[in-house]
Amino acid sequence: MLKKRDKAQLFLKNNLKLFQCPVCHNGFESIENYQLLCKEKHQFDLNKKGTLHLMLKSVESEYTRDMLLSRQRIAQSGFWQPLLDSIYPKLQKVDGAILDVGCGEGSHAAYLKDKGITEPLIAFDISKEGINLAAATYSDPFFLVADLADSPFASGQYATLLNILSPSNYSEFKRLLKTGGQVIKVVPNPDYLKELRDLKGSGADTYSNEEVVSKFEEHFSTVHKEKVRYTYKLSKELQADFLNMTPLGWHLDKNLNNITDELDEITIDLLLLVGSNA
């Protein structure tokens, strides 16, 4: 079996046209000896984990490794599985590369790849911690550190941009999408994690997604909306991870004995938006 770094190099060789240099925005010319080289000879190293750092500066993130590990354990327990199962068939509808924007610790992209995605799948996040953890845990898909605000991906090459609970940048989205491509954006509905919001001390206000949805609708002429709502039985062993995985839980008194019963069943209430680049 190929080492992670060799597997990543092979992926880059086969998919060089999907990327662009973050310095000069030209395409890349070659990947040899784990070195990616653009037409202007800017050079980026593929590290031992098989990931790239295609950002010119590092950014501090509020998500620590500890929090990302909690989020990963929750993801691996199937918390987002019904959501991902409803996204999966939509990915089959448009042929071509898929980009997971703000992939965090990588579980969603890894799950979709595992389920049977055969098109090139790239997942990126601005958080180095997130990408390190993703690449350490999963050998697929291809992970890298990058910033959506100035992304190192080539124009007009992507069939699907996946934007799950992460920020959007519509001018970048339009630049990246090929004709007929789609953005699949997932935003919380008001009842998302309501059991956590209801706990005293979470400090969370009721959430409205109206502004985000109307912004999305401004940018696409066809928008398909789908509600994804289900409940998840949270085991006692995962309660601490659940409280740690989202900023909503960080301010709570962590005396779990007091809140155990209220977190037995968690509501996952999400809105799936699909916008087409017709």
Ligand X SMILES: C[S@@+](CC[C@H](N)C(=O)[O-])C[C@H]1O[C@@H](n2cnc3c(N)ncnc32)[C@H](O)[C@@H]1O
**Where in 17-56 is the site for Zn ion (CB under 5 A)?**
21, 23-24, 38, 40, 42
Q: Minimum distance between the CB of residue 230 and ligand X, rounded to whole angstroms?
A: 16
Q: Minimum distance between the CB of residue 57 and ligand X, rounded to whole angstroms?
A: 12
Label the pairing between strands 142-145 and 222-233. unpaired
DSSP letters spanning 177-212: EEEEEEEEEEEE-TTTTHHHHTSTT--PPP---HHH
77 binds ligand X (CB under 6 A): no
Pick the piece of the chain touching ligand X (CB under 6 A) from 90-98, 120-128, 192-200, 220-228: 120-128
Helix (H), strand (E) at residue 192: none
Q: What is the CA radius of gyration of the chain?
A: 19
Pick the piece of the chain touching Zn ion (CB under 5 A) from 15-23, 57-65, 84-92, 151-159: 15-23
167 binds ligand X (CB under 6 A): yes
Q: Minimum distance between the CB of residue 127 and ligand X, rounded to whole angstroms?
A: 4
* 139 DSSP assignment: S
56 binds ligand X (CB under 6 A): no
Distance CA 278, CA 276 (A): 6
Distance CA 224, CA 66 (A): 36
* 202 DSSP assignment: -
Label the pairing between strands 97-101 and 158-164. parallel
149 binds ligand X (CB under 6 A): yes
Q: Minimum distance between the CB of residue 75 and ligand X, rounded to whole angstroms?
A: 7
- Site for ligand X, rule CB under 6 A: 61, 63, 71, 102-104, 108, 125-127, 130, 147-149, 164-167
